[in-house]
Structures are given as structure tokens and as C-alpha cells.
């Protein structure tokens, strides 16, 4: 008979990768409100749209490879050395570059779990091994357990604060004790994708942490508070030597000039955008208060989403919410993450949760 020619082998780590978006299907078409991706419900500002329109005329040219105007604007805004700021195609891409800059085969990366679903994928793609550490009380990161999980092979620890999808952020006292416990040649990545939504004064600003610690890198994004998820702009802040390593492995020309200029324009319109963030934070309070008044036990959230720990009923809840017109993100077997969006969406969602309290929970 015929011999089948050998097939191109995939790297085993790649063949085994989980999907980024969990498998549970919800009827997307039915839902009027999309609360499933932690997006900003507000449309882009007219001033930002005007800049995008203008920048489009240069699309036959490559962008500035290092997004100089943007990194300088960020450095000025955050009072930093521009050499320490690296822009990339969304902070999820920057995370990949950070990991390829510091780790590879045989190395370990400690991650919290449950946390951002891209973490185990990014670690595996970098060739390293993810070491997941379960969340502790109240769906918070268990930093003492994460420090204990560090071995001689550990090259990095990912700290998601606020934690996606559960909501709590790490406090200064917890973080300082953790940083004291972790060896100074292990990189600590503070993923602050939702930092602009933090209101708890006990939660540190990563920039202050970075000033005293050489082994810390921050990840931030224009996708959430600045409402530019579709343009893909994120950045890392680190000491210049580390930043140079991240830049060295980054995708060339990864941030289009349309995106670069829109991000700069967003920084210029920051006051207006941060007022929107205030409105989202108020809506978050209304959602959390409403849920608790119905008898739900939900963790505090410092981000633009809340977590319903529904365990095995997560997928059923998401299907009911979709039928009511609200698309939420189920993590099957664990819980449901609901992004904070339009007040009408909050009302619809609270209708579903009230119904569930009466009939299911
Ligand atoms: N970090 C965390 C914790 C996130 O939740 C997200 C978005 N879901 C990102 C990073 C990535 O954001 P982006 O790539 O859009 O900057």
C-alpha cells in the first residue's frame, strides 16, 4: 500500500496549547450588550477619530518602528526615562516579548490561576513551563504561595493586579513582602491592564514600585480605560536595560502609525477619558451593590468587571444572560465574568441575577 509521507511536526508545547477563548458557546446574535471582553462601552472621542482619519493618509509607509512620539509622550506623562518605555501590539503581545526576553526551554514562570487566560499560552509559546498557583481567599492572588513556588528555575512571576477575571488588586503591604521574598534576578511582571479603574488607596501604583525595584516590569494598555481595544496598543515600563531586551525581540513595526497617533491623541484627551472611567467605576459600584443586595457573594473589584463564582452553573448562567440580551464570559466550571458597560446592560444583568437567586441559587 501507499506510505503516508511524514507530516511537519508542531512543537509539542504548541500542539497542546489551550484556546484563548474558553469553549462554551453562547448565542452571540441574541445579545444586545457585549459584556464579555472587558471593553470600554464608550465610542472613540471625535478628536481621536479625526487623528486616525488624518493618519490613514500615510498607510503606504511603515510606521516608526519604536513608536518614538508615543513612548516620549508616555514618558513625559508618567515622569520616566523614555528608554524604559516599550510600545507593542496590545499588552498581550508585549507580555510575549517580555517573556521571550527573559526565558526559554527549561525555565519556569509562576502564574496565578485563575487569571488572564493568555498567561499559560504566552509562557508555553516562549518555550517555558507555567507553574500555576491557585488563588487564595476571596478570589485574591495568594502572593505568599506564589513566592514559595519560586525555584532555581524560575525566571519570571506574573502578577495580575487587578486580577482578570476575579477583580481584586494586590495591596502595597502584600506586594512589598512578596518582592522582598523573590530573588532579585527573577523578573516580576505587574500586569496593570486595569490600573486606571483602581480606587482602593491600599493598592500601589506600579510606577512607584518600579522606582525601588530593578526586577519589576509594568504592563499597561490603551485597550481598557482609553477605549482603543481595536487599535492594539500596549506598553511595558522597565529599567532601560530590560526595556532594550524587550525591544530587541519585539515584532518589527508592531504598532501602526494610526494606532500610535491615536494613542498620543488619547493621552492629550486624558481628562475626558478619565471622566468616562469615573462613570464606569460608579457603574461598577452599582452592579456590585445590586448583586450583594440580592444575596450574591462576589469579590471586590478594582477593575471594569465583576466575577460571579457560579462553579458548574457558569455556562447555564451565561446562556440565560445572552437570552436576556447580555453577552457575558463564562469560565466553565468556575465562574462568570461580567464587564461593566452601559447602565441598561447593568439593569438587564441584575434582572437575570435576581431571577437566578429566586430559582437556581
Ligand atoms: N492583561 C490583562 C490582565 C488583560 O485582561 C488583558 C485584556 N483582556 C490584557 C492584558 C491585554 O490587553 P491588550 O492586549 O488589549 O492590551
Reported as a single tens digit per residue, the pLDDT across 84-119 is 999 999 999 999 999 999 999 999 999 999 999 999
- Nearest-atom index, ligand 1, CA of 223: 15
3 state DSSP class of 134: strand
Contact 207, 181 (CB under 8 A): no
Q: Does the pLDDT at position 255 exceed 80?
A: yes
For position 20, what pLDDT does the model report? 78
State the DSSP code for 9. Answer: P
Pick the closest to residue 316 from 335, 303, 344, 338 (CA basis). 335
Is the CB of 87 within 6 Å of ligand 1? no
Residue 26 cell numbers, joined: 453562547
For 94, counting Cβ atoms within 10 Å of its Cβ (0-12 exposed, 13-18 middle, 19+ buried), the class is: buried
**Using 50, 70 and 90 to split pLDDT, how confident is the model at 24?**
very low
- For residues 108 and 130, give the distance between their C-alpha atoms in angstroms, rounded to a whole number: 6
**What is the arithmetic mean of pLDDT over 9-32?**
73
Rounded Cα distance, 43 and 114, in Å: 30
Q: What is the CATH number of domain 46-269?
A: 3.40.640.10
161 CB near ligand 1 (under 6 Å): no
Q: How far is CA 284 from CA 162, 197, 300, in A?
A: 14, 10, 10
Q: Which three cell numbers mark 167?
A: 477583580
Would the pLDDT of 191 be above 60? yes
Q: What is the pLDDT of residue 29?
A: 58
Quick check: 177 and 171 in contact, CB under 8 A?
Answer: no
Tens-digit pLDDT profile for residues 137-189: 999 999 999 999 999 999 999 999 999 999 999 999 999 999 999 999 999 99
Cell numbers that stand for 264 in this block: 498620543
Task: Please give the C-alpha separations between residue 259 and each of 8, 134, 224, in angstroms, as whole numbers.
Answer: 36, 36, 15
What would the pLDDT profile of 331-349 be if each residue is shown by its tens digit? 999 999 999 999 999 999 9
Which CATH number applies to 22-38+271-359? 3.90.1150.10
Which is it for strands 108-113 and 85-88: parallel, antiparallel or unpaired?
A: unpaired
Whole-number pLDDT of residue 310: 97
Q: CA-CA distance, 262 to 344, in Å (whole number)?
A: 29
Q: Which among 40, 221, 229, 301 is the best mutation to test ligand 1's pocket, defined by most ligand atoms within 8 Å of the CB?
A: 221
What CA–CA distance (Å, rounded) separates 275 from 261?
21
The yes-or-no verdict on residue 23 having pLDDT over 70 is: no
* Burial (0-12, 13-18, 19+ Cβ within 10 Å), 16: exposed
* Whether residue 193 has its Cβ less than 6 Å from ligand 1: yes
Distance CA 37, CA 269 (A): 24
Tell me, in angstroms, the distance from the centre of ligand 1 to residue 359's CA. Answer: 35
In the block, which residue shows the cell 498607510? 59
For 290-339, what is each residue's pLDDT tens digit?
999 999 999 999 999 999 999 999 999 999 999 999 999 999 999 999 99
pLDDT at 22 over 70: no
Going from the Cα of 2 to the center of ligand 1, the distance in angstroms, rounded, reads 49
CA distance 53 to 95: 29
Q: What is the pTM of this model?
A: 0.96
Q: Ligand 1, residues 67, 121, 164: which to mutate, most atoms within 8 A of Cβ?
A: 164
Domain regions of the chain by residue span: 22-38+271-359, 46-269
Question: What is the mean predicted confidence (pLDDT) over 2-18?
Answer: 89
pLDDT of 205 > 50? The answer is yes
Kindly state the cell numbers that stand for 38.
Answer: 472587558
Q: In the chain, what percentage of residues exceed pLDDT 70?
A: 97
| pLDDT one-digit tens code per residue, 30-87 | 568 999 999 999 999 999 999 999 999 999 999 999 999 999 999 999 999 999 999 9
What is d(CA 26, CA 348) in angstroms, rounded to the nearest whole number?
17
| Average pLDDT value for the chain | 95
**What does the pLDDT read at residue 16?**
86
Residue pair 145/136 in contact (Cβ under 8 Å)? The answer is: yes
Amino acid at each position: 500500500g501507499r506510505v503516508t509521507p511524514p507530516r511537519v511536526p508542531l512543537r509539542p508545547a504548541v500542539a497542546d496549547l489551550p484556546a484563548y477563548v474558553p469553549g462554551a458557546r453562547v448565542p452571540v446574535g441574541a445579545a444586545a450588550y457585549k459584556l464579555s471582553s472587558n471593553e470600554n462601552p464608550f465610542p472613540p472621542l471625535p478628536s481621536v477619530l479625526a487623528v486616525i482619519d488624518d493618519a490613514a493618509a500615510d498607510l503606504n509607509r511603515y510606521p516608526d518602528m519604536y513608536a518614538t512620539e508615543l513612548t516620549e509622550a508616555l514618558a513625559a506623562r508618567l515622569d520616566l526615562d523614555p528608554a524604559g518605555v516599550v510600545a507593542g501590539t496590545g499588552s498581550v503581545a508585549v507580555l510575549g516579548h517580555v517573556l521571550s526576553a527573559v526565558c526559554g526551554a527549561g525555565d519556569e514562570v509562576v502564574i496565578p490561576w485563575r487569571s488572564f487566560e493568555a498567561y499559560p499560552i504566552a509562557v508555553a509559546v516562549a518555550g517555558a513551563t507555567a507553574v500555576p498557583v491557585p488563588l487564595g481567599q476571596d478570589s485574591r492572588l495568594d502572593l505568599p504561595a506564589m513566592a514559595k513556588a519560586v525555584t532555581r528555575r524560575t525566571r519570571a512571576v506574573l502578577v495580575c493586579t487587578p486580577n482578570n477575571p476575579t477583580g481584586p488588586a494586590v495591596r502595597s503591604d502584600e506586594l512589598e513582602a512578596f518582592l522582598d521574598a523573590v530573588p532579585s534576578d527573577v523578573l516580576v511582571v505587574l500586569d496593570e491592564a486595569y490600573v486606571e479603574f483602581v480606587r482602593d488607596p491600599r493598592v500601589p501604583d506600579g510606577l512607584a514600585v518600579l522606582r525601588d525595584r530593578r526586577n519589576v516590569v509594568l504592563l499597561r494598555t490603551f485597550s481598557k480605560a482609553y477605549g482603543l481595544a481595536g487599535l492594539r496598543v500596549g506598553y511595558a515600563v522597565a529599567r532601560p536595560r530590560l526595556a532594550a531586551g524587550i525591544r530587541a525581540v519585539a515584532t518589527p513595526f508592531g504598532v501602526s502609525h494610526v494606532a500610535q497617533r491615536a494613542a498620543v491623541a488619547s493621552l492629550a484627551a486624558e481628562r475626558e477619558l478619565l471622566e468616562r472611567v469615573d462613570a464606569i467605576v460608579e457603574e461598577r459600584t452599582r452592579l456590585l451593590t445590586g448583586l450583594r443586595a440580592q444575596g450574591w457573594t462576589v469579590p471586590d473589584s478594582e477593575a471594569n468587571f465583576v466575577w460571579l463564582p457560579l462553579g458548574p452553573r457558569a455556562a447555564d448562567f451565561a446562556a440565560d444572560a445572552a437570552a436576556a440580551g447580555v453577552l457575558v464570559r463564562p469560565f466553565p466550571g468556575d465562574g462568570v465574568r461580567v464587564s461593566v458597560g452601559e447602565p441598561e446592560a447593568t439593569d438587564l444583568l441584575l434582572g437575570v441575577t435576581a431571577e437566578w437567586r429566586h430559582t437556581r441559587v
